[in-house]
Each structure stands twice: as C-alpha cells, then as structure tokens.
Structure 1
C-alpha cells in the first residue's frame, strides 16, 4: 500500500501524484490540512527520516516565522512547529509498505512500480 502525505496545492506533490498515476500505482493521498496530522505520525516520520531532514527551511512558511521561533531550533521545538504548521514539513513523504521516502525522486518512484510488478 502506498500513502502519499503532503498538501494538495504543493507543486512537488502534484509532480509526485502525476508520477504515481502515470505508473498506474494505486495510492492514498493524505492531505495534512484536510486529513490532519497527529503527533504520533510526525514522531514516526522524524524517527525514521530525521527531524532536520523533515523540517522544510527553504519554504515560505519557514521564512515567515518569527526569528525567535527559528532561533536555537531543536527537535522538540521543530516537531511542535510542524504540528502547528504542517507546511513546514518537507514534501512529499511517501510510505510504501513500511518504508518512508522523503521528497520527490522520480527514479525512486519508478522503482516502486518495478517492485510492485514482482
């Protein structure tokens, strides 16, 4: 089973969804804004992918944060910010069975198609 986590209007999410659809891979899309995000799921992402990798410091949401929120960022503070503002999570997070992939990598997504054909 494939679950794609993100925000529907994100350009990278659109690319990822298009790639999955072109490969005829069935997937479930989980939009943080409409479907929610709980601390347990975010903690799993952080444990497996690393909270620093998960935190999107290149996006508009990060740039709009107060300097006091960005100063001396640590895992606890980063996870709290990501729960408050899911747009701070690098996108997409793709779950294929028990494996997580962070970000869109077309070759990795094409490999999903190959592995599901076996």
Structure 2
C-alpha cells in the first residue's frame, strides 16, 4: 500500500499512523508518477485537485483554468491528500469511509 501526501499534513500523518505497513511518499519531495495521476484523475476527476489549499488560492484565474493533470504536474501540493493506492484500488482523503475500507 502506498500513501501519497505531505509529511507536514496532519491528515496524512493520521493515515500513516493507522496504516503503519504502508509506504509513504511525500509529493513535494518525491512527486507523483504520471501514471498514478492519470489513474487518480480517471477515478476521482476534478475532486483530485484541492481547491481549498493555499497553493490554489495563490494561482491566478488563467492558471486555475489549466487542465488538472498539468496543474498537478506543476504543483503536486494541489493534490487532495492523502491519496492511498492499494493494488488496483485508490482512496482519496481520510474520511470515515476510507478508514473503514483500508483499516478493516
């Protein structure tokens, strides 16, 4: 199981604590492979872009209008976190539903 997130993100830390066997990848330091972004966009669509983030608020309207894949490639911190990849299954966020699904 892989967790894509930020090491400074409290929600990502909670997910990692609950899933101690998962491998954590910091999107700022390690980036996100384009194949993972493609799969996540296919699964979650525009929900993958965190429009409540500081990074999003710093973008101008022209930048915000760009395709999500380009935005995430240029600004990986725009991705909603955590993105959990468990084989072929992906989970976005750390809601009660996700917690129940991945933690059993």
Deviates more, 1:52-61 or 1:10-19: 10-19
Residue deviations 1:16-51 (CA, integer Å, cap 9, x gap): 112223xxxx1111111222223222111101222x
Which residue among 28, 31, 43 is the counterpart of 2:38?
Answer: 43
Distance 2:95 2:33 in 1: 25
Between the two proteins, the alignment pairs up a number of residues equal to 104
Distance 2:85 2:62 in 1: 33
Distance 2:39 2:102 in 1: 21
CA contact (8 A) 1:56 1:90 kept: yes
Which residue among 62, 65, 69 is the counterpart of 2:63?
Answer: 69
**Residue 94 of structure 1: SS of its match in structure 2?**
strand
Provide the residue aligned with 2:7 in structure 1: 8
Deviates more, 1:39-48 or 1:102-111: 102-111
Per the TM alignment, residue 89 of structure 1 is displaced from its structure 2 partner at its CA by 0.4
CA contact (8 A) 2:4 2:32 kept: no
In structure 1, the gaps of 5 or more residues are: none
In structure 2, the gaps of 5 or more residues are: none
Instruction: Give TM-score scaled by structure 1 length.
Output: 0.78
* Root-mean-square deviation over aligned CA pairs: 1.7
CA contact (8 A) 1:3 1:27 kept: yes
Instruction: Give TM-score scaled by structure 2 length.
Output: 0.87
Provide the residue aligned with 2:50 in structure 1: 56
Larger radius of gyration: 1
